[in-house]
Amino acid sequence: MTEPDPLFVSLRPRFFDGQGIFLSLLFDECQSPSFLRKQESKSCSHLGFVCRLIIVVAFSVRCCYSAPPFNECPGICPMRQPLVAGNWKMNGSRDSINHLLDGILAGIGSVKKSEVAVCVPYVYLQQVCDRLTGTAVAWGAQNINDHDSGAYTGEISGSMLKDFGCRYVIVGHSERRTLYGESEQDVAVRFKAALAHGLVPVLCVGELLQERDRGMTNEVVTRQLDAVIEDVGIDAIGRCVIAYEPVWAIGTGKVATPMQAQEVHAMIRARLAGLSEDVAARVRILYGGSMKPANAGELIRMDDIDGGLIGGASLKAKDFLEICAAAG
């Protein structure tokens, strides 16, 4: 009996998730493109062959343009899908979050290309998990402890975050670095813990205003990035999202110009390319810092900006959705 192509088989469950039983029956009959070719001369009619060919082409296109699981297909499509992630910080109540989620879910259907996520306070993870399971919106947390369990009062581990269905976790946010003294080493171990638990770390890097004024932006950002790369290796960077967040732009209403942001994003990508062209081409680099509907489009249109990490504007469904729409 002919074995189906292993790659094709590994992709099939996801394909069936989206396409339904009818297509599943078609593919069960002709297990893979190579099997399909062999069988075509024997039993498949011309019409059947054409139908299956259309499905294979449609499947490939969907891999490139559709929701996150399809873009994870290794080697299928290196294109970077934009990501817009909300960082709710320490905001919200049960009621306000229900209201916010109502608004986001009502409008999410019009977001065609971007992946959308919200990073929420720990205590609301259950609520968010209940409301967002089965929707197009992913969720995550805003920090993670590097230990898996034990006597770490007040801390939350990666396995706990997985328990609540988190996909993302922010690490190294400037508020954690500056207000809570998280060092570069702390950020690296948290990053490593996230990966170890199958979470996608959103690694925040960015310079203070005085560092920018002294022309130290690239040096600071490179140092923050290198501290993680040295610990986890370049391949692990291919499994994360990087967020360039100039500290002077966070929550201040001052936004980096598209050129200022693009310069740093390009520098980050070039730095990664020096270690791995493949990782540099794949990794998504978000901009964060007072991104709003009015400035999102021109920022996200820059070559190396693959979306946004959104603080204040992610607390209003209308603004958040407009930013998502600006990302595609």
Window 296-315: residues binding ligand PEP (CB under 6 A) = 309-313
Which of 173, 175, 265, 322 is an active site residue?
173
SS3 231: helix
Residue appearing with tokens 């290198």: 226
* Cβ 281 to ligand PEP shortest distance, Å: 25
80/316 with CB nearer ligand PEP: 316
Report how far residue 328's alpha carbon sits from residue 246's, in angstroms, rounded to the nearest whole number: 24
Largest CA distance in the chain: 73
Q: Does 247 bind ligand PEP (CB under 6 A)?
A: no
Helix or strand (DSSP H, E) at 284? strand 284-288
Question: Is the C-alpha dihedral spanning 111, 87, 174, 203 positive or negative?
Answer: negative
Query: Does position 295 bind ligand PEP by CB under 6 A?
Result: no
Angle at 13 between CA 11 and CA 19, to 5 degrees: 100
Residue 282 or residue 316: which is nearer to ligand PEP going by CB?
316
Distances, alpha carbon 267 to alpha carbons 196, 227, 233, in Å: 28, 16, 19
Q: Binding pattern to ligand PEP, positions 251-290, x when CB under 6 A? A: x------------------------------------xxx
For ligand PEP, which residue has the nearest CB?
Answer: 311
Out of 245, 304, 319, 322, the only residue in the binding site for ligand PEP (CB under 6 A) is 245
What DSSP state is assigned to residue 145? Answer: B
- Name the minimum Å distance from CB 203 to ligand PEP: 12
- Give catalytic status of residue 99 as yes or no: no
Q: Residues 184, 232, 246, 114: is their CA dihedral positive or negative?
A: negative
For the CB of residue 52, give the shortest distance to ligand PEP in the complex, in Å: 46
Is 245 catalytic? The answer is yes
| Interface stretch with ligand PEP, choices 33-41, 76-84, 151-159, 244-252 (CB under 6 A) | 244-252
CA angle 4, 7, 8 (to 5 degrees): 55
| Closer residue to ligand PEP in complex, CB, 89/167 | 89
Of 158 and 311, the one with the shorter C-beta distance to ligand PEP is 311
Q: Which is nearer to ligand PEP, 164 or 320 (CB)?
A: 320
Q: Please, which residue, 31 or 142, has the CB nearer to ligand PEP?
A: 142
| Length of the chain (residues) | 328
Question: If residue 265 lies in a helix (H) or strand (E), which one and from where to where?
Answer: helix 258-273
* List 291, 300, 317, 326, residue binding ligand PEP (CB under 6 A): 291
Cβ at position 234, least distance to ligand PEP in Å: 25
Cβ atoms of 55 and 26 within 8 Å: the answer is yes
Place of tokens 């400037």: 174
Pick the catalytic residue: 115, 182, 245, 322? 245
Give the contacts of 233 (CB within 8 A, at least 6 positions apart): none
| Cα distance between residue 241 and residue 309, in whole Å | 10
Residues lying near ligand PEP in the complex (CB under 6 A) are found at: 87, 89, 245, 250-251, 288-291, 309-313
Catalytic (active-site) positions? 173, 245
